[in-house]
Amino acid sequence: MSIVETPSHSVIGQIWAHHIEPALHEYIAIPNVSEAFDAKWREHGHMQRAVDLIRTWCENRPIVGLTVEVQELPERTPLIVMEIPAFNGGSNDDPVLLYGHLDKQPEMVGWREGLGPWTPVVENGRLYGRGGADDGYSAFASLAAIEVAQALGMAHNRCVVLIEASEESGSPDLPAHLVALRDRIGTPSLVLCLDSGCLDYERLWVTTSLRGMAACTLTVKILTEGVHSGEASGVVPSSFRIIRQLLDRVEDAATGRVLLPALHVEIPEHRVREAEATADEFPEPFSTHMPFVAGGRPAVFEAAKQLIAHTWMPTLSVTGAAGLPAIADAGNVLRPSTSLQLSFRLPPTCDDAAAMIAVEQALTSEPPYGAHVTVEGQQAAPGWNAPPFAVWLDDALDKASTEYFGRPARAFGEGGTIPFMGMLGEMFPDAQFVITGVLGPGSNAHGPNEFLDLACARKITGCLARILAEHAGRS
């Protein structure tokens, strides 16, 4: 289906080319990794630089009634708060909440030649660099959508835009900010978030569920100091072997199935049908886009099962290790301890606190060989399962996607975690949610060579403007 160019396409193109893209280049160059990865984030000042950049950019947008401020709370990362009153007949009593974040994941190794985490590079319509797609563009695109709506005379209700700075750490600072802002936010009937993904760049994708997370550091200590491996092995059990035994309590190493009942849920039948419908149109939704080595293959082959595994099955990933010297420095020593960073992804409706307790109990009870086993740094975040789309929103999503992409919208469950959505789902159970984003095939959020597909981001900006207008006029 061809796309009919409208004045909104021109306005969006101008804003992106002349205002958003230059600002994103500056933003990518700032190494403002999230607080979990930079304990001295305040002293280093990178987070403040990112906040100042985005705040200043937003303050200069020609949006009627716009106010921009930075909320500071003791011992918390800052939060950018923007308010825009209703426009052209919209309602101030029926607000819209727009959300994004500006903190980043660490650099990660493996960037190809000519690219780097803090080096913005545009190549074939893609802006490479850490945080551009996850989720630095969100503040700019959210405000641009409101600007476009006003420039074209569309109505919109009162809008509240929140850009946090701790999402990549599990949003530990956000609850305190939400409590402080509760009266100002009001009771939104629509929540828009740009921190999610898409199965392709050819339509508007809406996320219907998100996984939760439970993470911790598991440490096994069997000796007080390292000893000669020839003298000790066979008598002293290896800390690495002990930690393997403990992992076998929580995961089947042959299949990857998580063994703890507390981490499993009953999958809603309508989500199974949704996965099957999406799989009919996208027979290889994930595996073909993953950077497998030659001959590598996925754990799940069937498309619908990939979509279910991606969202509704718990998983374990070992994301870090300590106590292991580099190979060049590894002597013939039986090491005293091994530590692993464990990251469990949880089904959307799983109780994250109960899951964390179950993991800790399984790993620490009756340790093999009397080893000292500790679980520290526990972090848990809830998942989220979207309420059904209202008829007006279902129509608005298709209308917006067709207008800007030339194809109707599609929905799927996402494998990542956005803690804010779980919080909001509890706070505003009657709200409608549009969770979308540009993290599509190859975009590689959190990894090397992360990129933002610029054309897709521009189109999503237009979709948001259209959805705001449809929300204001839905009655």
* Residue 448's CATH number: 3.40.630.10
pLDDT digit string (tens) for 175-184? Answer: 999 999 999 9
**The tokens of 53 are what?**
């950049």
Cα separation, 378 vs 373, in Å, equals 14
Residue 395 lies in a domain: yes
pLDDT of residue 426: 86
**The tokens of 228 are what?**
């000669």
Q: Contact, 10 vs 151, CB < 8 A?
A: no
Closest Cα to residue 338, out of 475, 240, 444?
240
Confidence of residue 259 (pLDDT cuts 50, 70, 90): very high
Confidence of residue 421 (pLDDT cuts 50, 70, 90): confident
Confidence of residue 475 (pLDDT cuts 50, 70, 90): low
| H/E run at residue 219 | strand 212-221
Mean pLDDT on 326-340: 96
Asked if 194 and 47 sit in the same domain, the reply is yes
Average pLDDT over the chain reads 95
Domain termination residue (choose one: 350, 365, 381): 381
Whether the per-residue pLDDT at 265 is higher than 90: the answer is: yes
SS3 at position 173: coil
Residue 325 lies in a domain: yes
Asked if 216 and 198 sit in the same domain, the reply is no
Asked if 357 and 396 sit in the same domain, the reply is no
Q: How far is CA 257 from the centre of its chain?
A: 23
Residue 294 lies in a domain: no
Asked if 163 and 40 sit in the same domain, the reply is yes
Mean pLDDT on 105-130: 97
pLDDT of residue 402: 96
Domain limits for position 340: 212-285+304-381
Whether the per-residue pLDDT at 6 is higher than 80: the answer is: no
Q: Contact, 210 vs 347, CB < 8 A?
A: no
Whether the per-residue pLDDT at 8 is higher than 80: the answer is: no
Could you tell me whether strands 67-71 and 126-128 are parallel, antiparallel, or unpaired per DSSP bridges? unpaired
Residue 243, amino acid: I
Whether the per-residue pLDDT at 204 is higher than 90: the answer is: yes
More confident residue, 421 or 226: 226
pLDDT of residue 4: 53
Whether the per-residue pLDDT at 125 is higher than 90: the answer is: yes
Asked if 96 and 193 sit in the same domain, the reply is yes
Number of domains the chain contains: 2
What are the angstrom distances between the C-alpha of 264 and each of 251, 303, 412, 414, 423? 12, 21, 20, 17, 21
Asked if 369 and 390 sit in the same domain, the reply is no
For residue 469, the cross-strand partners are none
Residue 418 lies in a domain: yes
Domain termination residue (choose one: 354, 381, 408): 381
Asked if 236 and 249 sit in the same domain, the reply is yes
Taking the whole predicted model, whether its pTM rises above 0.85 is answered as yes
Q: Contact, 198 vs 438, CB < 8 A?
A: yes
Whether the per-residue pLDDT at 44 is higher than 90: the answer is: yes
Residues of 111-135 as b/e, b for ≥16 C-beta within 10 angstroms?
Answer: beeebbbeebeeeeebbbbbbbbbb
CATH of the domain at 336: 3.30.70.360
